[in-house]
Chain A
Amino acid sequence: MAHTPFERIWDRHVVKDYGDGRSLVFIDRHFLQEATSGRAFDRLRAENLPVRRPDLTVGTIDHSISTLPGRTLHSFAAGVARNVAMHKNCADFGVRLFSIDSPHHGIVHVAGPNLGFAIPGSTYVCGDSHTASCGGVGAWAWGIGTSEVMQVLATQSLILRKPRTMRATFNGRLSKGVYAKDMILALIGRYGIEAGVGHTVQYAGPAISALSVEGRMTVANMSIEFGARGGLVGADDTTFEYLHGRELAPKGAEWDRAVADWRRLYDLGDAMFDREIEIDCSTLGPQVSWGTTPQDVIGVNETIPDPSSIADPTRKAMTERAIDYVGLTPGTPIAGTPIDVAFIGSCTNGRLSDLEAAAAIAKGRKVAPHVKALVVPGAAHVKAAAEAAGLDKIFIEAGFEWREAGCSMCVAAGGDIVPPGQRSMSTSNRNFEGRQGPGSRTHLASPAMVAAAAIAGCIADVRTMMH
């Protein structure tokens, strides 16, 4: 069986095979964030251990900060202790920190690729489940828990079991008004939230190749919602153009050697995957989630599922519970459902191309008077580029709030919370019960769809608002 790119990456990172199905695997890149690293540093102190490779480790602060204009590390009271500890931990252990005053600051998974810290073929971890986003540049990237953060700090390695491989092929071409977010929502909707368990997914096919690196990151981001810890897109010329010259990317002759290596690494040849699935993008319309797991997805012109038509008792009960929680009526169209909150941001859809797509809808229009609408750039560089292009003015004139970078309403962080019972249309990745605040109801969709809902005041087909 010919090796897949993932298996090649695995092979070159095994430090030691323990012979019981587990191996010690070397970690090339470790990005820390304040919410999951505190206890890891505490343990290092208690054990009197240094950070083994501060040169392969960087940090940022994204979850525990306010995103209000003029914010400081102290603006969001509940986050102060963590933010202050993060500064101290990074200073004490010699880790480079991109704090809120850095031009490289941002949500960890938006900042990493932008810095060129995430590179193809690398093993890349962070104490955060959406680390898989960095698979968009061809890094094998996955989220870890705090105990593992501590182990990587101490040993620059992790004990792992080799995941199986899966290829998800996206055929066809996206039509207008349909985006990377719709591709991954459709995949999860079709195959379910457990389909990826135990696998590293390779996203492939013409619709993936046609995506920008930013779109590829949106797809890879939601690998975890698909059940996989990591998912990657083969590095190609699009990737190399994106990475070339970035702050921490390889430079000069090393860059050329690296690119030659990455091309070989990602040559698919006749690679055989343990599982193959596919999805046709040419018939795909805008997607929106209706329930409380990311597989509860329908097209914007479809109707809320009717539990009485479901035979399987478990699925029936789940659907009933979800519909009750989100407060919708089975069998009715999802379009036209009034919303209270519109959130554009997060590591899924907080990049420049996402804000551009949303601004194209918002331009010259007004947010419905009953909707609270937020645009939260995923990183400082996104905010700067958007402002240089005048997107901030478009949003503000339309009635959106324009914020500083951070996680914000994705996880009800930094003081941005969806009040109980309110309905949010959100570009984030999770619609779990209580995710955007106790009692919050979340619908996941693309940035253009969220902008359309903010304007219409209800869930709406963005294609009717495009010229």
Chain B
Amino acid sequence: MNETLFLGARLLDPASGMDVTGDLLVREGAIADLGQAIGSPEGVETVDASGLCLAPGLVDLRAAIGEPGAEHRETIASAAQAAAAGGITTLCALPDTHPALDDPALVQFVLRRGEATGSITLLPYGAATKGCAGQEIAEYGLLQQAGAIAFTDGRRAIGSARTMRLALSYARTFGSFVVQHPEDPSLAAGGAATEGELATRLGLPGIPAAAEVILVARDIALARLTRGQVHFAHVSTAAALDLIRAAKAEGLAVTCDTAPPYFDLNETAIGDWRSYAKLSPPLRPEADRLAVVAALRDGTIDAIASDHQPHDADDKRLPFAQAEAGGAGLATLLGVTLARVHGGDLTLLAALDLLTARPARLLGLPVGRLAKGAPADLVLFAPDRAWQVKAGQLPGKAQNSPFDGRALEGRVVGTWKVGRRVFGA
């Protein structure tokens, strides 16, 4: 019988609030037992986890993977390698690939490629509109049957209010939701940095923070109109978070995530033309970063996603405005989130909740918890182990980390997917 016993771990289950030192037994890919003094079956393989934290494998709501179409940047296999090193066991892939995932066969292709890695559950989004072009809605029913987890145009905003209205209404038919990249396309066009003093000094075309606020406000109104469910990705401004907080209080089906750059960095990271810190949406002033931290604390933000976007050196070693936006984020997702725990902004359980149970609940998945019978998707990490992010030495193919040089505390020691070790010696 295939059994693994973790001994003396700090068991962390955000869903139940459990935080105890104990053992955890995995049998046939599922959690068989956990707690104190659960006993040791004969012949079991043991993992000495004393001094380490054992938590559910991370559930990442948002990653743009190079495959299909940009395999020179990243393949599904290399993304899976980086995800495993980051403690991620469930990864949602954006559909704005080449071709866009607007056909059931393409969704099935990505699912198969994910399964072939054996190390992650890769869940593709279906395109919200055909070709992710923002015009006609895609075949949500067929895409969902093929395995699409929800619907989005990925890194492109659905700019037309009419199209968004139809998408929200139609997704509701299938009990699904629409993920929006909240940035008004006409205000954001050509922009490279948040409009303000720094962009003015650097001579960079600016994107006003209002570009995010406008689309969030509009889509909240459309959620009210359609009774559909909208999820805002990588929310980064204080004003947009205020709107989402109010919409939730009103009882609308509105959720959101943010990504580590928006609570760990501010716009000064692009000083000296650091194109690795060019992101979409662009990094914001410190006041917005603080508002994102506050919204993580008060529950307005439902999840922390990696917002991983692979780019190679040719995409980034360009004059700033010509460089591609987006940063690699899989391997640093846990470490950068733990910085907010070490900084006293979040408890360890609250931080893990945002990385596991809450995104799993949003997607309706049985993962993201340490409980008897749950799939044994696990991450073992040393909460205080120091390391430094070094572009060029990250796992996987994509090395374009906006955190290059950042010193972190908290490192993944091992990752298990349905009971099988997929990362760590």
Partners in one complex: no
